[in-house]
Structure formats: C-alpha cells, structure tokens
C-alpha cells in the first residue's frame, strides 16, 4: 500500500531538506524505513542531542576493539560482539596461517579487513587480500586464510540470508562501484600447489554449534567450476561515493551490500558540500526503524570526537543521534576539500544484543560526549 506522501510546510522551515536552515536552528529528520521511506525535517532551537543524562537501554554506546583479548587464532572462535536472529558481528585476529578449514552453514559471511594481508584459499580457488578489502563468502564455502601480515578483521554473518548488491535506481548499476570491479578466486598455480593428500580438519558452524569433519586429503581439490554463485573481493578504494555539492546525501546512498534485515554501508573520502547554504555535517536524525553500528577503520571522523580507528559505536533505534558539538562548531567552516574517513556502517532492522565481551571494552563516557 502506498505511503501518505503529501508534502506540507509549517512555521519557520526550510523548503529543501539539509540546506538553508532557518537562522539559529538545528535540523532533525524523522523517517520511516531508515532513509528509504517518507520523512519530515524538524527545525529546533537546541541541538537534539543536547541531553543532560540518558538512562536505560537507549543509551548510545562506544567500544574499543583494541582492548579485546584473543585466546584463539581461529575464525570459528572469534569474539562475538553483537548479534540478533539475522546477524552475528565478530572481530577476528590472526597472527599466523589458519591450521584448518572453516565452513559456515548458518549464512553468508562478509569479512572486512581492518589490518593485515595474505591469501584466501576456498572451494573456488585462491584470492589475495589486504587492508581495506571486503571478502564476501557465500554460505557453505570452505575456506582458510594464509597470513603474510597480522590480520584484524570484522566478520559479519547474514544469518539464514544472502548478501546482494543494493538497488541503484536512477544512477545506474555502475554507480558507487561497477560490479565488473569485483574480483573472484582463481584456480591458479598457487591454488593447485596447496592440494595434497595430508589429513585436513574442517570446522563447520551450524545453528551456532561446531562440528569437525576430518578428511585424509585437502578437500580444497577443485580443478574447475562455472556458475553465478562465488566469493567476491571489493576494496573500499574502488568505491566511488555518491555525493552532491549542494546537499548532504543520507547514509543510505553509501550502501555497499544489502540483506533482508540489514544493510552494510561504507563511508569513504569524498568532497565536502560546497554550496554555502548546504549542511556539511550529518544531520540529526530520529531513525526509529534501525539500530546503527559503525566500525571506524581509518582517518579523522569529522562528525565524531574522541573516536579513533578500531573503535565501534552503537546508536539504538529510538533515540536521536547526530554530530558531536565540536563538529557542529565547524559546520559553517570548510575543513579542506575532502573528508578523511573510512568506516563500515551496519544498519539492522532488529535490535542488536551486546555481548559480555563487548561490554568489557565499552567506553561508558560516550553518552556524555555530546555535552
């Protein structure tokens, strides 16, 4: 059924969202379906995040993943930080080659390489990886990583779901990144050379329980394949972000992968808005349909203060969020010509559970950082 979508204007308001705000006001967006549905822009006398205190489950969170303690060099034992019925988000560290294969029978895996370099070996062949790569592995893929440089990676499982490319509508299928840029594993000499008759273990995850299958040979023994289901590699440097010099585009414009119940977006360096009347910081928004989780990968995060690479923030749906006061003070000034940030945002339709391991690395003062 169609939304009721008759634009109305009341009181002292801008006629164009995110531009030409009434003097001395702060814009807040209320929306349906994240940034995909109908929305209204409110103009307030005070910053919507100018709270005195926040108590209860809607309190914003920040976490420092550099404080995690790792006991295993094993993706199947990686620290579970956040989850719901449709997603599991883990952080994995590897100092050396994986000693066995893994296989996720619960859903597609998306790996974002925060640090490190090496080689992926999987059913489909061999594919190198380095810092800033996404590796998307279809459900059921057997794989292992060979490490050339210590790995720190974000693992995002689409539980009982699959990763797809977002709808790009008017801007064409080649916008943001051309699917032709996606790299796939190759059955090359390196892959064929690792095939042997030595005993190999495969650790399989199904319904969050682990099983071990032992083979008297390396089961990555394919000699060829053809089809349309395969792992892919994408580096954030290959993303060409949508932007407007006259309008601050919403985060949904930066969607990289989509599933039925969450999206993965990538923020990469882009030009600042140059129109003198346009906002050049993210607008305050009351996103009441999605939890917003951001992993900060590299650079200076122009809308955040006291946040550095390797940290994560979680803004539960139901509470307004937006730029920090320091970013607001700079909103009318141009800080060079380009943003300098790389971050992965995960917007989930269902509330995320925070694990005990995540609670142990939380920065409790984050909620006060808007004061």
Catalytic residues: 248
> Quick check: 263 and 254 in contact, CB under 8 A?
no
Torsion of CA 9, 15, 19, 20, to 10 degrees: -100
Exposed / middle / buried, residue 337 (Cβ in 10 Å: 0-12, 13-18, 19+): exposed
Dist. CA 102–CA 173, nearest whole Å: 33
Residue 291 labelled as part of a binding site: yes
β pairing state of 61-64 and 200-206: unpaired
Inter-residue contact 104 to 137 (CB < 8 Å): yes
Q: Is 238 annotated as a binding residue?
A: no
Say how far apart CA 362 and CA 62 lie, in whole Å: 6
Known binding residues are: 285, 291, 321
Task: Detail the residues annotated as belonging to a binding site for homogentisate.
Answer: 321
């Amino acid at each position: 059924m169609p939304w009721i979508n008759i634009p109305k204007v009341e009181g002292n308001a801008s006629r164009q969202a995110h531009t030409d705000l009434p003097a001395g006001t702060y814009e807040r967006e209320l929306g349906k379906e994240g940034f995909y549905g109908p929305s209204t822009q409110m103009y307030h006398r005070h910053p919507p995040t100018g709270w005195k205190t926040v108590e209860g489950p809607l309190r914003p969170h920040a976490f420092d993943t550099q404080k995690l303690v790792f006991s295993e060099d094993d993706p199947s034992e990686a620290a579970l930080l956040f989850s719901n019925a449709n997603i599991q988000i883990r952080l994995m560290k590897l100092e050396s080659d994986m000693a066995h294969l893994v296989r996720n029978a619960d859903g597609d895996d998306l790996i974002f390489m925060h640090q490190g370099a090496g080689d992926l070996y999987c059913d489909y062949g061999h594919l190198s990886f380095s810092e800033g790569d996404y590796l998307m592995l279809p459900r059921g893929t057997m794989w292992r990583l060979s490490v050339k440089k210590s790995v720190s990676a974000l693992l995002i499982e689409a539980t009982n779901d699959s990763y797809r490319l977002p709808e790009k509508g008017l801007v064409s299928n080649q916008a943001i990144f051309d699917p032709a840029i996606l790299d796939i594993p190759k059955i090359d000499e390196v892959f064929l050379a690792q095939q042997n008759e030595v005993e190999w273990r495969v650790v399989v995850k199904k319904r969050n329980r682990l099983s071990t299958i032992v083979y008297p040979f390396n089961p990555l023994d394919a000699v060829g394949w053809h089809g349309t289901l395969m792992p892919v590699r994408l580096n954030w440097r290959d993303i060409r972000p949508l932007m407007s010099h006259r309008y601050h585009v919403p985060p949904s414009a930066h969607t990289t992968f989509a599933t039925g119940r969450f999206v993965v977006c990538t923020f990469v360096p882009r030009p600042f808005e140059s129109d003198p009347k346009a906002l050049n910081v993210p607008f305050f928004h009351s996103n009441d349909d999605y939890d917003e989780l951001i992993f900060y990968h590299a650079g200076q995060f122009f809308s955040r203060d006291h946040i550095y690479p390797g940290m994560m923030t979680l803004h539960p749906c139901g509470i307004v969020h937006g730029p920090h006061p320091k970013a607001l003070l700079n909103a009318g000034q141009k800080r060079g010509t380009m943003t300098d940030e790389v971050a992965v945002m995960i917007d989930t339709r269902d509330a995320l559970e925070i694990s005990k391991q995540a609670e142990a690395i939380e920065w409790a003062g984050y909620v006060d950082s808007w004061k």
